[in-house]
């Protein structure tokens, strides 16, 4: 199975690899997946509490090329969005952008889960209730 | 030093999957496509005679490599067919004596799926689990033998981790118990000495394409004396191969198979000595990386391969990073089933380590430059991916990954 050019680009030049200070109240951390399943994503956002804008996003991923590319793309999309806008990122947008084949759709689902987990972590730190998972994945 | 300038990329290090045909083998085969194209079963004209003569010669070359008599070689399309013929053929032929087989969970799917099929036909199969080093013990086999056991089938060497089973001891045990012994020797024949007499093997599966011969041709060795073994044919037709396998013989393939066996007999020991040195160089260099582990027993194994897990790095991601090197991985992502390697799991490896494994299979055409390049590439890739791995970061922070509640998906 050949990878799409966009997957290869994100895999070879991953954007925003790194770690934010998870003890900072403005940082939300989402850790999803499981080592025994072969992929784990950690996605972090740093939010400006005044504006609700995500000013920085970082990831680290253990997984295949598509998982790394999905998380790299997610961090790119998150930066500059408000937390509310970030919630609208749909896993199928990632599938489309990276031209992921059906067997790799779970990588995009994981990225969407990571975004939601990071936002919830941020909300809890800010004294807000975590969001209920309302929408079903594709 | 610019390694790239000396090398032709990509590099092939997947010789347990298949091997390049040796040019000498290819050369030996060519006349049998164009000039001497006869059917070996045509008894009444020179075209047939030439083909038959070539087949007879190849049979001798093949038999000589495993210490057999040429009449004991039954040609098949490859090791999968040989395994099917051995197991199904023995089950049908000896069903009156019993219905119990013994095998191991680390066998190739051609054995395991055939066993599953036979279970539906009423066979009872005992599946032995190897130790953490991948080895089955003679005692395990002895303990599993019953009154109604008709066959023990244990592979000679494993395709994923290369461990060599105690075949000679298992063979002697089976002989003393009057139980037939089959071995899938696909990975071993042509790489290490195999002797059906000394090893007390009654049936042996082999294939040409793992030993620098062509694909689509293999053989089943079926012992003729002491005891005389018979298998029920699984294909009906013209009664070729002593009635055990009908079908027009693949003459060019057989000629190539014969030549490959002759070359293996002459060059096996020098190949093995050179390749084990290169393998050890590769392995020792990669073990310099923290948290990397060799899978399977390191003393009893094939000279040309190694299987290494690089903890906290996922195998498919790693293969993508070393795209100029052809290897294979136990990672789920590289298989259709999305399950990590059942062989590695049966050694008691965590799924996580199974996901992180690469198999390197060296071969007759592997050069030292290629190994140096591989060491360099894999080391870089593992380091790069670990910098990107949340698991590596947690490991470095001293967090026990087992203490975390992962949400499997």
Closest CA to B220 of B208, B200, B242, B204: B204
The residues, ordered by sequence, that sit 6+ positions from A26 with a Cβ below 8 Å of its Cβ are: A46, A47, A48, A49, A122, A125
Quick one: pLDDT at residue B174? Answer: 98
Residue from B291, B354, B390 whose CB has the most chain A CBs within 10 Å, to mutate: B390
Which of A17, A35, A37 is closest, CB to CB, to B409?
A: A37
Answer yes or no: pTM beyond 0.90.
yes
Better-scored residue on pLDDT, B352 or B151:
B151
**The pLDDT of residue A138:** 47
Could you give the CA distance from residue B111 to residue B153 in angstroms, rounded to a whole number? 8
Using 50, 70 and 90 to split pLDDT, how confident is the model at B156?
A: very high
From B67, B38, B68, B69, select the one nearest B55 (Cα to Cα): B38
Could you report the predicted ipTM of this complex, rounded to two decimals? 0.92
Residue B332 DSSP code: G
pLDDT confidence tier of residue A49, bands split at 50, 70 and 90? very high
Average pLDDT of the residues in A6-27: 95
Span A100-123, mean pLDDT?
Answer: 94
Following CA atoms A67, A71, A74, A76 in sequence, which dihedral angle do they give, to the nearest 10 degrees? -130
pLDDT in tens, B244-280: 999 999 999 999 999 999 999 999 999 999 999 999 9
CB contact (8 A) between residue B409 and residue A34: yes
B181-203 pLDDT, tens digit each: 999 999 999 999 999 999 999 99
What percentage of chain B exceeds 70 in pLDDT?
Answer: 96
Whether A37 is catalytic is yes
Could you tell me how far CA B181 lies from the centroid of its own chain? Answer: 17
Record: contact A106-B409, CB cut-off 8 A: yes
Tally C-beta pairs within 8 A across A and B. 86
Q: Is the dihedral of CA B49, B50, B54, B60 positive or negative?
A: positive
Mean pLDDT of B170-188: 98
Average pLDDT over residues A74-86: 96
Quote the minimal CA–CA distance from B340 to chain A in Å.
9
Answer yes or no: do B355 and A38 touch at CB < 8 A: yes
pLDDT the model gives residue B5: 59
Average pLDDT, chain B: 95
Contact status, residue B105 vs residue B116, Cβ threshold 8 Å: no
The model's pLDDT over B106-136, given as tens digits with 9 standing for 90+, comes to: 999 999 999 999 999 999 999 999 999 999 9
**B325-359 pLDDT, tens per residue?**
999 987 765 555 667 889 999 999 888 888 899 99
Chain A residues with beta carbon closer than 8 angstroms to that of B315: 38
Q: What's the whole-number mean pLDDT along residues B142-147? A: 98
Report the percentage of chain A scoring pLDDT > 70. 95
A64 a catalytic residue: no
């Amino acid at each position: 199975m050949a990878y799409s050019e966009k997957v290869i680009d994100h895999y070879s030049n991953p954007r925003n690899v790194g770690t934010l200070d998870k003890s900072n109240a403005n940082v939300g951390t989402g850790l999803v997946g499981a080592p025994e399943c072969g992929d784990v994503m950690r996605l972090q956002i740093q939010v400006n509490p005044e504006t609700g804008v995500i000013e920085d996003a970082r990831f680290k991923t253990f997984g295949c090329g598509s998982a790394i590319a999905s998380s790299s793309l997610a961090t790119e999309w998150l930066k500059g969005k408000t937390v509310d806008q970030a919630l609208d990122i749909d896993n199928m947008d990632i599938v489309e952008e990276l031209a992921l084949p059906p067997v790799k759709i779970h990588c995009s689902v994981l990225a969407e889960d990571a975004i939601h987990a990071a936002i919830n972590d941020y909300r809890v730190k800010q004294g807000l209730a975590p969001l209920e998972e309302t929408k079903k994945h594709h | 030093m610019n390694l790239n300038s000396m090398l032709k990329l990509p590099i092939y290090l997947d010789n347990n999957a298949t091997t390049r045909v040796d040019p000498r083998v290819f050369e030996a085969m060519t006349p049998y496509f164009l000039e001497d194209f006869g059917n070996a079963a045509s008894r009444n004209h020179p075209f047939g005679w030439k083909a038959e003569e070539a087949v007879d010669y190849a049979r001798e070359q093949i038999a000589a490599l495993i210490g057999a008599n040429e009449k004991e070689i039954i040609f098949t399309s490859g090791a999968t067919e040989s395994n099917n013929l051995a197991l199904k053929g023995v089950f049908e032929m000896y069903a009156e004596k019993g219905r119990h087989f013994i095998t191991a969970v680390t066998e190739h799917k051609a054995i395991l799926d055939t066993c599953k099929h036979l279970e539906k036909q009423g066979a009872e199969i005992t599946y032995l689990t190897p130790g953490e080093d991948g080895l089955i013990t003679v005692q395990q086999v002895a303990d599993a033998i019953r009154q109604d056991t008709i066959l023990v089938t244990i592979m000679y060497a494993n395709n994923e981790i290369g461990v060599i089973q105690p075949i000679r001891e298992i063979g002697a045990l089976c002989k003393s118990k009057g139980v037939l012994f089959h071995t899938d020797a696909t990975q071993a024949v042509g790489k290490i000495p195999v002797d059906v007499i000394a090893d007390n093997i009654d049936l042996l599966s082999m294939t040409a394409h793992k030993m620098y011969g062509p694909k689509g041709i293999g053989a089943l060795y079926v012992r003729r004396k002491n005891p005389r073994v018979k298998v029920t044919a699984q294909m009906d037709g013209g009664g070729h191969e002593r009635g055990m396998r009908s079908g027009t013989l693949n003459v060019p393939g057989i000629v190539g198979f014969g030549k490959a066996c002759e070359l293996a007999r002459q060059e096996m020991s020098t190949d093995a000595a050179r390749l084990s040195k290169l393998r050890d160089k590769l392995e020792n260099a990669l073990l310099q990386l923290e948290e990397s582990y060799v899978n399977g027993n390191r003393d009893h194994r094939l000279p040309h391969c190694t299987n290494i897990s690089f903890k906290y790095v996922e195998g498919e991601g790693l293969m993508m990073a070393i795209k100029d090197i052809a290897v294979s991985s136990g990672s789920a992502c590289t298989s259709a089933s999305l399950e990590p390697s059942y062989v590695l799991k049966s050694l008691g490896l965590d799924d996580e380590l199974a996901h992180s494994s690469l198999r390197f299979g060296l071969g007759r055409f592997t050069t030292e430059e290629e190994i140096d390049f591989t060491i360099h590439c894999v080391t870089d890739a593992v380091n790069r991916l670990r910098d990107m791995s949340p698991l590596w970061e947690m490991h470095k922070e001293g967090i026990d990954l087992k203490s975390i509640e992962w949400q499997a998906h």
